[in-house]
Amino acid sequence: MLPRNYGPTTHRSLGLTDDELDEIVRMVGRAPSDVELAMYAVMWSEHCSYKSSRVHLGRLPTTGERVIVGPGENAGVVDVGDGIAIAVRIESHNHPSAIEPYQGAATGVGGIIRDIFTMGARPIALMDPLFIGPADDPRSRYILDGVVRGISGYGNSVGVPTVGGQTTLDPSYRGNPLVNVFCLGLMRVENLVLGSATGVGNLAVLLGSRTGRDGIGGVSVLASSSFGEPGSGDDAAKRPSVQVGDPYEEKRLIEACLQLLDEQLVVGIQDLGGAGLACATSETAARGGLSMDVDVAVVPRREAGMSAVEVMTSESQERMLAIVTPEALERVNQVCRRWEVEATVVGEVRQCDPDGIGRLRVRDGASGELLAEVPAASLAEDAPRYRRPLAAPLDAAERRADDPGALAPPDDCGADLLALVADPSPVYRQYDHQLFLNTVLAPGAGDAALLECAAPGIAWTGKALALSADGNPGWCRLDPRAGTAATVAESVLNVACTGARPIALVNCLNFGNPEHPEVMWQLSEAIDGMTEACTALGLPVVGGNVSLYNSSEGTDIDPTPVVAVVGLLEGLVRRPPAIGWRDGDAVVLLGRTHPALGGSRWARALRGHRDGELPPLDLAAHARVSGLVAGLVAAEASAEAAPGLVTGVHDVSDGGLGVALAECAMAAGVGCVVGGSSRAGGSASGDGGCVASHRELFSESASRVLVATSRPDRVVALALAAGVPAVVIGTAGGSRLVVEGLVDLELVELRRAAAAYFGEVLA
Amino acid sequence: MSPAVGVVCFPGSNCEHDVVRALASLGASARIVWHGDDDLGDVDAVVLPGGFAHGDYLRPGAIARFSPVMGPLRRFALDGGPVLGICNGFQVLTEAGLLPGALRRNSGLRFVCTTVPCVVGSSSSVLTAATPVGTVLALPVNHGEGSFVCDEATLESLEDNGQVVLRYADNPNGSMGDVAGIANRAGNVVGLMPHPERASSDLIGSSDGIALLGSFLAAASATAPF
């Protein structure tokens, strides 16, 4: 009889439903023990098991020529040639960051980095898409400040540069901020190791920090429930479920693990994140198809008196579980001693039981009391899958009809433009974005970060990686399907603007409470939109994360699917043209403007108008635009003799043409004059080269890029030959940004307004 | 013959590979020296790179100065060998007493990563021998605790003796006297907060650091035996 002291409703306080408890009883063949119940509670949490989303995720396209490892492992792995691969992953740390912003964000960074070096890759880049409440809300300012400090404090110290991200301030996130973290690592293909416990008699070695009482129930009571709901308890009281990070421990752990992998001393390795030892032991055993015996008594602890339940479910950070042969143990210990990393044998891989089932057994002492004995796969893979009800909002048609195009035109488009420009440098200046000497286009320079594809031990061969992370609640609220497709398209275009071709995508699906049918409908629609866009653009989804229950006081966040796209550029020899232009350049607009304001930041942020219809997205046309731009920019960056055709490039998205023009002007320190409605030839939404109204100025219609050139005829001819609409809309020069009849601003005014946006929040 | 440069790695260092990469691109034979070794090996110059030695716990450089490698480093420096401390390395050199002053929390109380214009204040050091006084260099900084401080008399003596080798033209951290880098009296030990290795190629935004690293390697070559 295994120890069982819990009460009749304990499972509910651990986050399990009555039905789920019944299912556990059926699987185990008896009432679960204390340790078993605790392990099922964390492993079957929404965060770990994807029980609400899994039935939908299978629709995403996940394969491609370059894909070595797709979704399901710790990170996706994609071949970039020359025997080199990238490992990529994105995750959320939303709820911890809402409760304790510094540690929540810091441990988000720590966790995603472990997912990357677990695969054998050296982490070389981070990106952090953040969605926080409005600037006029003191608590949201506190959260943004803490989150940025947490990313800075952990990321800089652990030695992985933060090269990109996004910071969106919006009332939708007042009660539930989103902190997503992306990491990319570089590896030799032959160093790939999976999180699998194989080889009977091999040892499970726990590496890194001692186990403490922090983060218990992080994945269940914290990550898998909404804030401020009746019966959910005091949110501030959840603070002990937030883990505490130690970047110095993680730095030594990275170096020790990469050396172990380089010397081929481990047969499998898995990081300890959500659900701690329960997760790492059951997942590795399940993947290996074998049993594992774990001795909870030998796990090094930070404090006395911890129970077996606490040890098995603690989410203490900076820990890894390595599977090693007995012969390799001595060398493993040597390497760990050098890096001052504690290493303890806590388990052993065993044969399956005679019934063919691999079981996880937890004992207190090598021959001590048996505390748990369950099929490993039942924890890791057999969580219930819910086909939750989904329903489009009842007022969908009304909301779609309420178009912001009908709002009164601004008295002063210039004043609106000043309210829309935002310089995020007060955020990214706190992040080391240059480590490893790879950063060709740093934050703010281009539409995507561009990095030399190199790392310690992996010499640079001329390849470059472009990284962009994007999410747009304004678009996705109006239409989760089309909005998500547009988000993918936008990310692809960002990468194209640095000359790279997209090769892989990872996603972080941030949604509200899945028990609300409208939220499940949003999630399902978003997955369909992502599938359509990725299929049309030939982009495999190699990993993802689903974050649900982003909801407070009964209000769900606007749907916020975030994607990160990685692009590849071959033969980089010089910096590509980036955001900006040169005095005297012609400014060419590629793509056609639909003068529609649905989903625009102008409508949402300046007019508080959150409904309407998105401008149409033609994915085939989008592929033509991004292919053209990638080719033009790559020719400047990679040819032995640059054609000198393109001198600046910037995609048109958030804030529309107005903001894109302003950003080019500010980056260049050179103004521009754009034709207004008085100009002959018609408007940008037709075939002509002018911007006739605020609808054309602030529309966020997709698939558009500004290109600066001294040879506009040539650029336009190349575009038309590629089937892309192209028109000269203005000429760079002077110290003012002028859109005739709409805007006339000094660059200093624009700069002051842009600097104030985040400067005041992070003062 | 290419000079041999030892780049010291403490647990928590993170710029050691970058320094090796930048020096190698300038023809040096650079290798990493482990902090726990009590021997520098056969080197013509030593770099203490940036990062967070021992997590910067307690205080940047406060624990690193006790590492076994610091004994031979001290003897190497006192014998006139070229020693360069970059960022965290500068902090270690001040904690070890090889350079005067200390580095405090940035005046803005935030970590700052950006490129700032710096002016060469003196050519009397292994780092700045090749750059005339007044030369403006675009150099990346990346630190939370880079605000140089010392007593007034020390600052005056640093100025008088040409030991302020680099000054910020646009002070990012509140350093006294806009000090970005200083040398010892002999000019063979230099510490600076900016990262010259991060300004070692036009592709990554600036190559203004090459003149500094080149000067350092020339000094190393001058001490190198044939």
Three-state SS annotation for A93-118? CHHHHHHCHHHHHHHHHHHHHHHHHC
In angstroms, the first-to-last Cα distance of chain A is: 60
Q: Sort out which chain A residues have CB atoms less than 8 A from B114's CB and list them.
A: 425, 429
Interface test with B, best of A434, A436, A441, A573 (most B CBs within 10 A): A434
Segments in chain A below pLDDT 70: 218, 221, 229-234, 236, 239, 677-689
pLDDT at A127: 98
pLDDT over threshold 80, residue B225: no
CA distance B12 to chain A (A): 6
CB pairs under 8 A between A and B: 92
Contact indicator for A183, A312 with CB cutoff of 8 Å: no
Interface ipTM = 0.97
**Beta-carbon separation of B22 and A436 below 8 A:** no
| Cβ contact B112–A429 (<8 Å) | yes
A456: DSSP letter: T
Q: Helices (DSSP H) in A90-202: which residue ranges?
A: 94-99, 101-117, 138-158
Nearest by Cα to A596 from A700, A689, A727: A700
Give dist(CA A115, CA A725) in Å, integer.
43
Choose, out of A157, A341, A453, A761, the residue to mutate when testing the contact with B (most B CBs < 10 Å): A157
Q: C-alpha angle A117/A121/A124, rounded to 5°?
A: 90
Q: Which residues contact A268 (CB under 8 A, 6 or more apart)?
A: A193, A194, A195, A196, A197, A198, A284, A287, A288, A322, A323
Tell me if residue A433 is catalytic.
no
Does residue A126 contact residue A163 with C-beta atoms inside 8 Å?
Answer: yes
Cα separation, B119 vs B123, whole angstroms: 11
Nearest-neighbour CA in chain B from A54: distance (Å)? 39
Q: Which residue of A has its CA nearest to B54?
A: A248
Q: How far is CA A735 from CA A503, A583, A608, A672, A753, in A?
A: 39, 10, 32, 8, 16
**pLDDT of res. A232:** 54
Strands B4-9 and B29-34 come out as: parallel
User: Can you tell me the distance from the alpha carbon of A498 to that of A360, in angstroms, rounded to the nearest whole number?
Assistant: 49
> How do B45-48 and B4-9 pair as beta strands?
parallel
- In this prediction, residue A680 carries a pLDDT of 46
CA nearest neighbour of A100 among A152, A139, A42: A139
- Cite the beta strand spans of A305-419 per DSSP E: 319-324, 343-350, 359-364, 369-375
- Judged by CB atoms closer than 8 Å, whether chains meet at B142 and A432 is answered as yes
Q: Which two tokens stand for residue B144?
A: 């939370």
- Give, as one character, the DSSP assignment of residue A66: T
> Residue A248 and residue B21: Cβ atoms within 8 Å?
no
Q: Which residue(s) pair with B84 in the sheet?
A: B47, B190
What's the pLDDT score for residue A681? Answer: 47
- The per-residue pLDDT for A689 is 65
Q: Where are the domains of chain B?
A: 4-223
Residues in chain B within 8 Å Cβ distance of A153? 111
User: Residues of A at the B interface (Cβ-Cβ below 8 Å)?
Assistant: 149, 152-153, 156-159, 246-248, 251-252, 255, 338-340, 425, 428-440, 442, 452, 456, 572, 574-575, 762
How far, in Å, CA of A581 to CA of A661, rounded?
10
Top residue of B16, B204, B206, B210 to mutate, by most chain A CBs within 10 Å, is: B204
* Topology (CATH) of B4-223: Rossmann fold (3.40.50)
Work out the burial of residue A579: count CB atoms within 10 Å of its CB; fewer than 13 is exposed, 13-18 middle, 19 or more buried: buried
Closest CA to A165 of A563, A469, A473, A472: A469
Residue A276 parent element (H or E):
helix A276-288
CA dist., res. A272 & res. A279, Å (int): 7
Integer CA distances (angstroms), A723 to A460, A489, A500, A713, A718, in order: 36, 18, 20, 15, 9
Please determine, for residue B187, whether its predicted confidence score (pLDDT) is greater than 80: yes
Pairing mode of beta strands A359-364, A291-295? parallel
User: SS3 for chain B, per residue?
Assistant: CCCEEEEEECCCECCHHHHHHHHHHCCCEEEEEECCCCCCCCCCEEEECCECHHHHCCCCCCCHHHCCCHHHHHHHHHCCCCEEEECHHHHHHHHCCCCCCEEECCCCCCCEEEEEEEEECCCCCCCCCCCCCCCEEEEEEEECCCEEECCHHHHHHHHHCCCEEEEECCCCCCCHHHEEEEECCCCCEEEECCCHHHHCEHHHCECCCHHHHHHHHHHHHHHCCC
Residue of B nearest to A440 (CA): B204
Question: In whole angstroms, what is the distance from residue A319 CA to residue A250 CA?
Answer: 8
A173 vs A603: CA distance, rounded Å: 18
- Do the bridges between strand A501-510 and strand A343-350 make them parallel or antiparallel, or are there none, so unpaired? unpaired
CA distance A44 to A26: 15
Amino acid, res. A402: D
Q: Which residue numbers of B have CB closer than 8 Å to A's CBs?
A: 11-12, 14-15, 17-18, 21-22, 36, 51-52, 54-57, 110-114, 140, 142, 144, 195, 197-198, 200-205
Where does the pLDDT of residue B226 fall: very low under 50, low under 70, confident under 90, or very high at 90 and above?
A: very low
Catalytic residues of B: 87, 195, 197
Length of chain A: 763
Alpha carbon dihedral A282, A287, A291, A296, in 10-degree steps, equals: -30
For the entire predicted model, the pTM comes to 0.96
> Cα(A671)–Cα(A734) distance, rounded to whole angstroms?
5
Considering only CA atoms, give the Rg of chain A. 26
pLDDT for A72: 87
* Residue A237: burial class (beta carbons within 10 Å; 0-12, 13-18, 19+): exposed
How far CA A146 is from CA of A77, A97, B52, B104, B106, in Å, comes to 32, 8, 21, 21, 18
DSSP H/E element including A695: helix A694-698
Among residues A659, A665, A648, A656, the alpha carbon closest in space to that of A747 is found at A665
Instruction: Give the E-state strand segments of A229-328 in sequence order.
Output: 268-271, 291-295, 319-324
User: Mind telling me how many Å the CA of A426 is from chain B's nearest CA?
Assistant: 9
Q: Burial, A65: exposed, middle or buried (Cβ in 10 Å; 0-12, 13-18, 19+)?
A: exposed
Tracing tokens 């059926």 back to the chain, one arrives at A26
- Is residue B104 classed exposed, middle or buried when 0-12, 13-18 and 19+ CB atoms within 10 A define those classes? middle
What pLDDT is recorded for position A684?
55
> What is the amino acid identity at position A720?
L
Active site (annotated) includes residue A47 = yes
Q: Number of H helices and number of E strands within chain A?
A: 26, 28
